[in-house]
Copies of this chain bind each other. A is one copy, B any other.
C-alpha cells in the first residue's frame, strides 16, 4: 500500500493530489522521475555511483540504497510513471526530527543555461548559501510536548533564514527544550547527536576527506539530510559511555550532479567545511557565549585605521 511520506520537509509533496514521492511502509521510498531530464539525470547518477570502482564502499553508506527504477501509478493520478526506488531514510522511526541542508555556496553548474543561472543565483544570494556555503531547506523538530507534536517552520519562513537563524536552528535541532523566543536552545543532545564516534560531525569529517580527493562528481543543489529520534538521543545523552543516538546522515537529491572531469568539487567541499565549523561550535560552545571574543572590525569610515579587534 503506497502512501505519501508522513515526514517530509523539502521537495515536492504527494499530498493533496500533487506529484510527489511515495513510501511502501516496508523501507522503500519511491521518487517520481521529473519529465524534464532531471529524473533521468538522477537515475544516471545513482547507477554510476553504485557501479564505479573508484567509489569506496564506506562512502556508499552516505547515500540512500538504490534499487533501480519501477513504473508506478503517480501520486497525482496522472497514470503510470517511472519512479526511483530508494531506501526510505525514515523507515522505522515514529517521531523523527529532521533537517535538510542544501550544500554549496553555488547551486548552479559552470556551464548551465542562462535562465537557470539567473534563477539559482538570486536564491543563492537571498538565502544564506553565498554567505555560509549552505542553506536550510527544511526542518522539523519533535516537540517535547509529545511524540507526535512537531515544530515545523513554514517553507516561506525557512526561505527567509539569515545567518543567525541558521546558527540558532542548528542549536535548536539538538536541544531538549522547545523553540521559544524567550529561551536559548539548551543543546542538551549536542554531544549525543553531533558528537561521538558515530555522530554527525565524525561522519561529515569522513565525507570531507573523500571530497578532498574525489574528482568524479560535482554536486549542485544536493543536500545533507539529518534524521534522529529524541527518545534515542536522550537515552544516549544519559549514558557515560557515549551510546549511539542512532542519528542518520545521508546525502540526497542528485538531479544536478555533473561529471567532475578531474577537478574536485570545491563548491560542495567549502560548504561542507562551513557546516562542520558550525557543528563544532555547537559542540565546543553549547552556551553560545564564546564567539564574541574572536572578532575583527575592518571599517575605516572615519579615516582612522587602528585595529578594533575585541
* Chain A residues proximal to chain B, CB less than 8 Å: 40-41, 43-45, 47-48, 51-54, 105-106, 110, 121, 125, 130-133, 163, 167, 212-213, 215-217, 257-264, 266-267, 269-271, 273-274, 276-277, 281, 291, 294-300, 303, 305-309
The CA-CA distance from A309 to B48 in the complex, in Å, is 7
Given contacts A130-B110, A277-B212, contact A259 B305 (CB under 8 A): no
- Return 5 A-B CB contacts under 8 Å, by A number: A43-B305, A44-B300, A48-B307, A105-B105, A105-B267
Residues of B within 8 A of A264 (CB): 273-274, 277
Q: Could you tell me the distance in whole angstroms from the C-beta of A148 to the nearest C-beta in chain B?
A: 36
Residues of B within 8 A of A274 (CB): 263-264, 266
Given contacts A110-B125, A269-B273, A307-B47, contact A296 B130 (CB under 8 A): no
Given contacts A105-B105, A300-B44, A305-B43, contact A132 B270 (CB under 8 A): no
Residues of B within 8 A of A43 (CB): 300, 305
Which of A106, A110, A260: most chain B CB closer than 10 A? A110
Residues of B within 8 A of A257 (CB): 298
Q: Could you tell me the distance in whole angstroms from the C-beta of A308 to the nearest C-beta in chain B?
A: 8
Residues of B within 8 A of A281 (CB): 262
Given contacts A44-B305, A306-B47, contact A267 B133 (CB under 8 A): yes
Is the pair A266, B217 in contact by a Cβ cutoff of 8 Å? no
Residues of B within 8 A of A261 (CB): 163, 295
Residues of B within 8 A of A277 (CB): 212-213, 215, 263-264
Counted per complex, copies of this chain come to 2
Q: Could you tell me the distance in whole angstroms from the C-beta of A299 to the nearest C-beta in chain B?
A: 8
Contact partner, A105, options B106, B213, B260, Cβ 8 Å: B106
Is the pair B298, A132 in contact by a Cβ cutoff of 8 Å? no
The CA-CA distance from A47 to B303 in the complex, in Å, is 13
Q: Which residue of B lies closest to A274 (CB)?
A: B266
Given contacts A217-B296, A263-B163, A266-B133, contact A53 B309 (CB under 8 A): yes
Q: Could you tell me the distance in whole angstroms from the C-beta of A162 to the nearest C-beta in chain B?
A: 11
Contact partner, A131, options B110, B121, B276, Cβ 8 Å: B110
Given contacts A294-B215, A296-B216, A300-B40, contact A263 B132 (CB under 8 A): yes
Which of A260, A281, A305, A308: most chain B CB closer than 10 A? A305
Residues of B within 8 A of A132 (CB): 263, 266
Residues of B within 8 A of A105 (CB): 105-106, 266-267, 270
The CA-CA distance from A258 to B130 in the complex, in Å, is 14
The CA-CA distance from A43 to B304 in the complex, in Å, is 10
The CA-CA distance from A12 to B5 in the complex, in Å, is 59
Given contacts A48-B307, A307-B48, contact A259 B298 (CB under 8 A): yes
Q: Could you tell me the distance in whole angstroms from the C-beta of A59 to the nearest C-beta in chain B?
A: 14
Contact partner, A296, options B213, B259, B273, B305, Cβ 8 Å: B259
Q: Could you tell me the distance in whole angstroms from the C-beta of A169 to the nearest C-beta in chain B?
A: 15
